[in-house]
Amino acid sequence: MAIGKIANRLPWWVKWIVAPVLVLLVFGGLIANVVGVLIGLLFKVLALVALVCALAFVVRKFKGSSNSRSDW
């Protein structure tokens, strides 16, 4: 029997309540780990963008109004 045929025979509460709860119980740690890594990566990317913007602001602030690239 195919899984689809078995799933069609199950009551709605098994398909929509029990099965997702079992998936969360079995793979909950893995899902939490992946979400944590993605959130950590997003935080690091945002921190990098903020630091680069702050550096650009400081360089422009102390460089003065000179727009020539010969100073570099």
Whole-angstrom Cα distance, residue 47 to residue 36? 16
Q: What is the pLDDT of residue 32?
A: 95
Burial 50-60 (b: 16+ CB within 10 A, else e): eeeeeeeeeee
For 65, which DSSP code? S
Going from N- to C-terminal start, the domains of the chain cover 13-61
Q: What's the token pair of residue 28? A: 């909950």
For 10, which DSSP code? S
Cα 67 to chain centroid distance, Å, stands at: 38
Q: What is the pLDDT of residue 7?
A: 81
More confident residue, 1 or 14: 14
Model confidence at 47: pLDDT above 60: yes
pTM value > 0.85 = no
